[in-house]
A and B are shown apart, each in its own frame.
Chain A
Amino acid sequence: MKNKLIFQIAISLLLARWKQTLVAAIGVTFSITMFVTLLSFMTGLNDLLDGLILNRTAHVRLFKDLSISKNQPADVYYKNTQGHNFIHSIKPKNERLDISNSGAIMSTLQKDARVLGVAPKITAQVFYNVGSIDLTGVINGIEPLEENRLFKFNDYVTAGNFLDLKNIPNSVILGKGLAQKMMVSIGDVVQVTTSKGERLSLKVVGFFQSGLQDVDKVQSYASIKTTQKLLGATANFITDIQIKLKDILGAPAAAKEFESFYEVDAIDIQTANSQFETGSSVRSLISYAVGITLLIVAGFGIYNILNMMIYEKMDSIAILKAVGFSGGDVNKIFISIALSIGIFGGAMGLLGGFGLSSLIDQIPFNTDSLPTVKTYPINYNPNFYIIGGVFSIITTYFAGYFPARKASTIDPVIIIRGK
């Protein structure tokens, strides 16, 4: 009853100055709209840019690095003598590049609870023969189905069907830049030569576009079998094992564990791509800072309008007090006014933010480097709406708090006697 009365008075005061109130509410609406849109758009872009690398990169990659032997014969021979051994010009020994026992490692990894999936890969250095010119390049031997499941391979295949890699023997999907350089189209045959001099004809079944032009100019994809044939290697020849984990944050720990357990080299995604994390977090920070600044500016607007209203309504406040409303009641009246502006403006702002981001979502955004993106990216994370809503209420509460406190301490005697 009492709160209802206070609310009624607040609404009447609000409606008495509805133009000012509307301006204040529009201020909040505008800032919340911009806050939500800005964050949705920024995060959408962040996700897009991160996705360019992160989606296609294994969380942990097992490989074998060429390195010098850690146990030099001299160390073994002079083990019990005092002094140091100085050995110059050590060269790496001639080792096999493939991961030994790769089949067993993969089947063990598949059973690991942390692992989402495992995909083998072979990297082969080749020359593409175009007439009398040889272009250097890399052919990645992959398992097309697994590669698509874990790393969305199909998203980047702009022409042809990636399954043809599996179905058609000796087939290849060329990078778009490379294909343009070689002037080949789907169905053509290209000649490749390995670094050891083997030659093979491969049928072009598709093109892929990764978004990174330097990659598209040198890389191609073929099936594991085709690549093994190209390298003249056996069926268990695998140079890389790509692991996708269920939790990306566990990658560094997992990499360390796999490295010592399987006696291979391992690198996690955070170490390999640390710059992306930093970039995204700085961009989010900037968008939050701008959004919150907008809200605070709107808060000052509300503060001003309430202050004005209190000066105008000085008489009304005095009489309310004279007829028995306490300072606390007056305080509540002005806080309710501020909160109504905040809640109304905030709700409109959330709708506006959703509308504006949906609109941006419809704007065409075509770029050669991002084949899968057709419109501007928007991230509809409900958290932005929750933060925006909560923040609009908090800001308006504080904007109302000080004027309300002032109103509650007004001495009715001074005003009534002043007439």
Chain B
Amino acid sequence: MKYFHDPVTIKILDNINFSLYESEFVSIIGKSGCGKSTLLYILSTMDTDYEGDIVIDGVSMKGKLEKILAQVRNEKIGFVFQFHYLLNEFSVLKNVMLPGMKLGMYSEKEIEHRAYEKLKILGIENEALKLPNQLSGGQKQRVAIARALINDPLLIMGDEPTGNLDKKNSEIVFDIFQELAQEFKQTLLIVTHDNEFAARTTRIIEMEDGQIIKI
């Protein structure tokens, strides 16, 4: 359960209970304001103000320290937002490398190599040394996906990742997701209000007024 307290306490999410399995490609759909994004942020561990429990990879996230949650996000979850959120001070390559360097599991050279591989999967390895503001919207979103992939996360979460893109770029991004799901067995959880997009995923969770109406 999740409440918003400002300006008045409202129950946003109620009686939400579902599980995600490995290499599933799941979409959450619903009308604007039905709580699908809120649900995603709770699942992502960034929003900690909720009742109930979240279990990621067999570990409960309830009541964990902010530092531990940050580590979980770093290691196990990749994010793609509606807006790309790349750091303009860094090159594309550095942006992709940042979460990897934070994790610190590989040497800098290896992380760089891995970042190039991810960019290659997404077909933008030639843009690696450019700054993010020199890229087009679709390219930026692909860089963001590469960044989400760098630590080989258990799960990639997307909050309307195609929301800001035109038809053609949306198509490209969707194809990438599908490729990740099929070829790399990547688990994906994507919030969208694009029913066409959702229809092509393996499982659809439909929400209305803070409740799941269809799994």
Q: Which residues of A contact B (CB under 8 A)?
A: 1-2, 5, 9, 12-13, 15-16, 315-316, 318-329, 411-413, 416-417, 419
Contacts and interface: CB of A to CB of B under 8 A. Distances in A.
Interface in B2-52: 37, 41, 44, 46-47
A319 B70 contact: no
Interface string B75-95: 100010111011111100000
Contacts of B85: 315, 318-319, 322, 416
A322 B73 contact: yes
Contact of A322 (B37, B67, B79): B79
B70 A416 contact: no
Interface stretch (B55-63, B96-104, B114-122, B169-177): B96-104
Top 4 A-B residue pairs of the complex, sorted by shortest distance between their CB atoms: A324-B74, A326-B70, A319-B85, A12-B89
Given A322-B73, A324-B71, A328-B67, A5 B37 contact: no
A409 to B, nearest CB: 10
Contacts of A322: 44, 46, 73, 79, 81, 85
Contact of B41 (A316, A417, A419): A417
Contact of A416 (B86, B88, B103, B159): B159
Contact of A323 (B41, B90, B147, B159): B147
Contacts of B74: 323-325
- Specify the main secondary structure of chain A where it touches its partner: helix
A323 B89 contact: no
Contacts of B87: 12, 316, 319-320
Nearest to A416: B81
Contact of A324 (B37, B83, B103): B103
A325 B99 CA distance: 8
A417 B99 CA distance: 21
Interface residues of B, number: 30
B82 A323 contact: no
30 contacts: A2-B102, A5-B98, A5-B101, A5-B102, A9-B98, A12-B90, A16-B89, A316-B87, A319-B87, A321-B46, A322-B44, A322-B79, A322-B81, A323-B73, A323-B79, A324-B70, A324-B75, A325-B102, A327-B67, A329-B70, A329-B102, A412-B46, A413-B46, A413-B47, A416-B41, A416-B81, A416-B83, A417-B37, A417-B41, A419-B83
Given A1-B104, A322-B44, A416-B159, 5 more contacts: A319-B86, A322-B46, A324-B71, A325-B70, A411-B46
Contacts of A328: 67
Given A322-B85, A412-B46, A419-B82, A327 B66 contact: yes
Contacts of A316: 87, 89
Nearest to A12: B89
Contacts of B103: 324
Interface string B127-160: 0000000000000000000010000000000010
A307 B101 CA distance: 27
Contacts of B101: 1, 5
A15 B131 CA distance: 15
A416 B147 CA distance: 17
Contacts of B79: 322-323
A316 B85 CA distance: 7
> Which has the most chain B C-beta neighbours within 10 Å: A9, A323, A325?
A323
A336 to B, nearest CB: 15
Interface string B172-209: 00000000000000000000000000000000000000
A325 B67 CA distance: 8
Contacts of A412: 46
A358 to B, nearest CB: 39
A5 B108 CA distance: 10
Nearest to A418: B83
Contact of A321 (B37, B70, B104): B70
Contacts of B71: 324, 326
A2 B47 contact: no
A328 B41 CA distance: 21
A11 B104 CA distance: 19
A365 B101 CA distance: 60
A15 B89 contact: yes
